[in-house]
Structure 1
């Protein structure tokens, strides 16, 4: 008797479980997920530019020599460039701020007879050596150029003004670029009759220092005049605002 009752109860439980499982699988019992909607965005680019006085300048000093042989041209160049480097150091440039940026040694050819029909002949060799120096006291630039020229430099160029530590100014420019982006977004939102509710995304911005390049005028009896002017630090950032 008890065995039959227990089996009947067990059968009822199994049937009830199957019914619940079938009901749960019916399509109308499955709850639909809320559709995912794209955020409403106002996307803008923010920009900022800061002009500051430079506190560093890089200058390239070159020496060109000629010789009847490659060795002669190279030895003459070495002697003169050593004098230029010594003059730079004597003027206050540290050894770690002087770096060779170019060296070349090559044959020079000329022509015998009229062209066409003339003959190309070797006339000698030419050696070029260039060093780049970082001048950390901008006001001394003219004096340093004079010292290098007096020591034997035959070419001076690549005068670029910059900043020894640009990071603080770059960070300031990035902050201003973010403010510029927000201002643009608010103007657009107001014109569209909506209200900005937050920031959805800020893309990596960047800040660059635009060095001002100057040409040196080497004068015989006066210090070379160098005007530093200003350098510009530019920053840009991409921002998406929700509304």
Structure 2
């Protein structure tokens, strides 16, 4: 038996493709007809969540556990080498005096050290300005004297100036910081400086060790947070609402060390005579420090 052969024309193929496209489009419409079309921009209805902002603060006064004192040794000489040698000698004398007054060697630190030239600066400007219609004696007369110059021919400002710098010596400066846990030893340090030539007392302040400060700041932050939350709960209760979630938090700390600046210069500090061989030493009294912590919180409230 002979085989039957079927040949599809190009028209038949195009008809089949068209039917498939129509069928897919119909299925897609059925699947998406139940979905809601997206709303155009600007038609959304969002409800603003009410919020309240509160702050809390906690403050504590503490006794310092660190005393910091600034000292300076300053020497001047014709050469840099001589100025540095004199500074080294004064530094050794100051260190010995500090150690003799109970300061530990580990508590003595160098803040800065530098040597620089000292100049004799001089400048002059010519000519001097005129006064009224009379100018200063500027031109030399034939007989060796001087005569006035007419205002109209006198140079107008700015006048030319000349300056010269001449090195007249060198200065060496050594800044020293004493940092001690003995907060009662400030008077001894000042007395030590008073007995050393070329040394001076610049400043002092009381402070806290890092571990002490960090511990207190942590406690104060917790107290401030509790104060803020208590305030927020009170406001919400008064409004007939309750607190929701936290929206934002900001914190801050305030810790000002107490500074005082120097009045004592080596070799020249006065003492009050009490007896034949007795004088009153200097005293520095520790001053309490105030630390505070602040917090700012924004809460949502539920009605």
TM-score range relative to shorter protein = 0.7 to 0.9
In structure 2, do the counterparts of structure 1 residues 31 and 188 end up closer, same or farther at CA, with 3 Å as the change threshold? Answer: farther
**Paired residue for 1:108?**
118
Alignment gaps of 5+ in structure 2? 1-24, 39-43, 127-162, 272-279
1:209 aligns with 2:242: no
1:64 aligns with 2:96: no
1:168 aligns with 2:226: no
Higher helix share: 1
After TM superposition, the score normalised by the length of structure 1 is 0.75
Aligned counterparts of 1:231 and 1:199: Cα–Cα separation in 2: 36
1:129 aligns with 2:179: no
Alignment gaps of 5+ in structure 1? 1-17
| Cα deviation code 1:73-106 (max 9, x no counterpart) | 1111112112223333443433443322122211
**Paired residue for 1:99?**
109
CA RMSD between the two structures = 3.5
1:74 aligns with 2:124: no
**Paired residue for 1:185?**
232
- 1:188 to partner: Cα distance: 4.6
Return the index of the structure with the highest Cα Rg: 2
Matched residue of 1:80: which SS? helix
Matched residue of 2:255: which SS? strand
- 1:183 to partner: Cα distance: 4.4
In structure 2, do the counterparts of structure 1 residues 82 and 111 end up closer, same or farther at CA, with 3 Å as the change threshold? Answer: same
**Paired residue for 2:195?**
150
1:196 aligns with 2:246: no
- 1:36 to partner: Cα distance: 6.7
Aligned counterparts of 1:63 and 1:241: Cα–Cα separation in 2: 57
**Paired residue for 1:234?**
292
Instruction: Tell me how many residue pairs correspond in the alignment.
Output: 226
Aligned with residue 41 of structure 1, among 51, 61, 64: 51
- 1:22 to partner: Cα distance: 4.4
In structure 2, do the counterparts of structure 1 residues 231 and 131 end up closer, same or farther at CA, with 3 Å as the change threshold? Answer: same
Q: Is the 8 A contact 1:24 1:30 kept in 2?
A: no
Aligned counterparts of 1:188 and 1:64: Cα–Cα separation in 2: 62
Matched residue of 1:166: which SS? helix
Q: Is the 8 A contact 2:201 2:263 kept in 1?
A: no
After TM superposition, the score normalised by the length of structure 2 is 0.62
In structure 2, do the counterparts of structure 1 residues 116 and 156 end up closer, same or farther at CA, with 3 Å as the change threshold? Answer: farther
In structure 2, do the counterparts of structure 1 residues 216 and 111 end up closer, same or farther at CA, with 3 Å as the change threshold? Answer: closer
In structure 2, do the counterparts of structure 1 residues 21 and 111 end up closer, same or farther at CA, with 3 Å as the change threshold? Answer: closer
